[in-house]
Chains A and B, each alone.
Chain A
Amino acid sequence: MKPSQLIRLYPAQWRERYGPEFSALLEELPTSPRLAFDVFVSAMTARVVQLRRRFAGGALDPRGSNGIAMLGFVLMAPSTILVLAFALKFKVGVAGPFDAISGPSQAIAVLHYFLVFAPWVSLALVSRAMVCPSVRRSGMGLSIQLEAHADRLTLAIAFVAVLVLFVLMRYFLFQHSPVWGWSAWSVPWSWFAPPWDRR
């Protein structure tokens, strides 16, 4: 492969900006394996830089951040409703919504999986929206930084996700789920019981 063809390894955005002048430079230099290797490493570096920017850009852009956080909120909305139904059933004594999704059918089992895992995914999305890891070359070494960005909406969604997960793990997964009968474990789950369930 000619060095000029190696330009294709660079990201499109980089080629658009530097492609013509870089091609002109390569045309002036004698072809050698060392040159090809240098261009190859540079192209890979440009790709890593682009990936890092994409990763960081989404997290630090307030609109992108809110979008990701809102996606997390929408994803865990059914679980949030379920948790509210839990509270109604065990605290107030209203059974309706929760009992409606009980039963041994396969569809209900799939729904249970979704309801239990959705808040974890939501929490991951919200964390992704709030925290931006970045790796940069710094002198002879690497500098790894974690940048945090959070507005009230993102923090509120993260708080709801943690709350929903807590209640789900306590009630749904370990005691009431027909999918996993883990309530027989000798773990003192009562330690984690919410106030309304303490006897």
Chain B
Amino acid sequence: MSQPDVPSEAGVLILLSLATGPKHGYAMMTDISAFADTRVGPGTLYTALARLEEDGLIAAVASDDRRRPYRITPSGLTALKARAESLRRLASVATRRLAAR
């Protein structure tokens, strides 16, 4: 299996949202809007969601409801941790360089 690409911005937001438990599309949009103060459109959400599922970073949860929930997979957690660490390093560099000005 080829190495999955780095998740897109919307992909990271979805992974972050699912890190607290399985959610369906509308719940993800509401959650993302709350914690990131940004609105992800339904099309953007499902484009990223399909990609994450294809890469094995999230998985659908069986449900009788039309609104199918998704959960983050162990690979998804690893990818999210790696992205968080990368962002932490970036923020650290930004803080140092901005402080020097």
Task: Please report A residues at the B interface, Cβ cutoff 8 Å.
Answer: 3, 14, 17-18, 20-26, 28-29, 34-35, 38-43, 45-46, 136-139
Q: Which chain A residues border B45 with CB–CB below 8 Å? A: 25
Could you say which of B43, B66, B67 has the most chain A C-beta atoms within 10 Å of its C-beta?
B43
In the complex, are the beta carbons of B8 and A137 less than 8 A apart?
yes
A18 touches B46 (CB 8 A): yes
In the complex, the chain B residue whose C-beta lies closest to that of A42 is B43
Q: What would be 29 A-B contacts, judged by CB atoms less than 8 Å apart?
A: A14-B50, A18-B46, A18-B49, A20-B66, A20-B68, A21-B24, A21-B25, A22-B25, A24-B25, A24-B67, A25-B25, A25-B26, A25-B42, A25-B46, A25-B67, A34-B41, A35-B41, A38-B42, A38-B44, A39-B42, A40-B43, A42-B41, A42-B42, A42-B43, A42-B46, A42-B47, A43-B43, A46-B50, A136-B5
Interchain CB contact under 8 A, A139 and B42: no
Residue of B nearest to A137 (CB): B8
Query: Which chain B residues in 32-46 approach chain A with CB under 8 Å?
Result: 41-46
Residues from chain A with Cβ under 8 Å of B50 in the complex? 14, 17-18, 46
When the two chains form their complex, are residues B66 and A38 in contact, meaning their CB atoms are under 8 A apart? Answer: no
A26 engages B42 (CB within 8 Å): yes
Residues of B within 8 A of A41 (CB): 43-44
B82 interface residue (CB < 8 Å to A): no
Minimum CB–CB distance for A148 against chain B, Å: 15
Within the complex, the shortest CB–CB distance from A197 to chain B, in Å, comes to 49
Q: Are A38 and B6 in contact (CB under 8 A)?
A: no
A73 to B44, CA, bound (A): 44
Do A35 and B47 touch across chains, with their CB atoms under 8 A apart?
Answer: no
**CB-CB < 8 A to B41: which residues of A?**
34-35, 38-39, 42
B42 close to A29 (CB less than 8 A): yes
CB-defined interface of B60-75 with A at 8 Å, one 1/0 digit per residue?
A: 0000011110000000
- Asked whether, in the complex, the Cβ of B66 is within 8 Å of the Cβ of A39, the reply is no
Find the A residue at minimum CB distance from B67: A24
Instruction: Flag if B47 contacts A46 (CB, 8 Å).
Output: yes
Tell me the smallest distance from the CB of A147 to a CB of chain B, in Å: 10
Are B8 and A22 in contact, with the CB atoms below 8 A?
no
Q: Is the Cβ of A23 less than 8 Å from the Cβ of B66?
A: yes
Min distance, Cβ A14 to any Cβ of chain B, angstroms: 7
Which of B29, B47, B49 is within 8 Å of A45, CB to CB?
B47
Q: Once bound together, how far apart are the Cα atoms of A139 and B10, in whole Å?
A: 11
- Give every chain A residue within 8 A of B68 (Cβ-Cβ): 20-21
